[in-house]
Amino acid sequence: MNIVITGASKGLGKAMAVEFAQDKQGHHFFLCARHAAELEQTGKELQGRFPRTAIHTKTCDVGDKSSIREFATWINNLTGNIDILINNAGIYLPGSAYGEADGNLEKLMEVNTYSAYHLTRLLLPVMVAAKKGHIFNICSIASLNAYPNGGAYGISKYAMYGFSKNLREEMKPHGIKVTHVLPGAAFTDSWSGSDIDPKRIMEAADIAKMVYAAVHLSPQACVEEIILRPQLGDL
């Protein structure tokens, strides 16, 4: 399969790439991230661990529409078929709606919501033409439940969830599946240096396994929503 993953150099994005690559089916990956060195290292690591795969990487700032357009053009020049698109890239900036830094909302919307909207629109033509494909939009538990000091982050994740739900309805007649993924806290690099017990929250691989499983259903079945929380509940 041809698999596109944004925000793939670490965290959930990397975990999902590993989950698909380790089935040894020789998938082709098209991965992007902001930081070139991290992305290059991840690409080399994946290619070394899974030699049957083809790992293609390109630096992309998903908060910049022109950079997204370049990434999409690069993909379309390399392949005429996309089986899976995982809109995973996202950032977190702390703050409440009334007290956070000016510009937080714009930045978070650009990265967490607009990026998925723009990339999906640019890649959909080949998926619609093929009448198949699966799009995963990585939302958040924050897409469902407001919480104190959620601020612009919560707003952006609510918007991402709305985009994904609308896209699901629009893609039904085209044979393209859409799944909203709403994970709670999972241990990734963003928790490094914190005092959180890794056993208190989920592993990134937990989310990756659920995404992988959702792909491997019959064509007439679609997992619309995946909600995962730590066993002891949200933090």
Q: Are strands 28-33 and 54-59 parallel, antiparallel or unpaired?
A: parallel
- Cβ burial, residue 37 (10 Å; 0-12/13-18/19+): exposed
Q: Catalytic pick from 92, 114, 147, 153?
A: 153
Q: Are 158 and 151 in contact, with CB atoms under 8 Å apart?
A: no
Please choose, from the candidates 61, 20, 22, 33, the residue with its C-alpha nearest in 3D space to the C-alpha of residue 189: 33
What is the rounded CA–CA span in Å between residue 40 and residue 123? Answer: 23
What is the rounded CA–CA span in Å between residue 34 and residue 37? Answer: 9
117 is annotated as an active-site residue: no
Give the 3-state secondary structure of residue 163. helix
Please choose, from the candidates 203, 161, 166, the residue with its C-alpha nearest in 3D space to the C-alpha of residue 182: 161
What is the rounded CA–CA span in Å between residue 235 and residue 224? Answer: 25
87 bridge partner residues:
137
Show which residues are catalytic.
Answer: 153
